[in-house]
Amino acid sequence: MVGDQAHKHELPSDMIPGGIRSLIWMGVRTDRFDETVTFFRDVMGLRVLHEAADAAWFMLANGVELHVYGPSDHDHSFFGPGPVVGFEVGDFWPTRAQMIEAGTEFIGPVQETETRIWNHFRGPDGNIYEIMATKP
pLDDT at 1: 39
Could you tell me if 54 and 64 are in contact, meaning their C-beta atoms sit under 8 angstroms apart? no
* Contact status, residue 50 vs residue 36, Cβ threshold 8 Å: no
Give pLDDT tens digits for 118-134.
999 999 878 999 999 99
pLDDT average, residue stretch 46-57: 96
* 15-28 confidence digits (pLDDT tens): 666 778 899 999 99
Write down the CATH number for the domain with range 20-134: 3.10.180.10
Instruction: Give 70's pLDDT tier (boundaries 50, 70, 90).
Output: very high
Domain boundary assignment for the chain: 20-134
Mean local confidence (pLDDT), 78-94? 92
Does residue 13 have a pLDDT over 90? no
Average pLDDT, the chain: 87
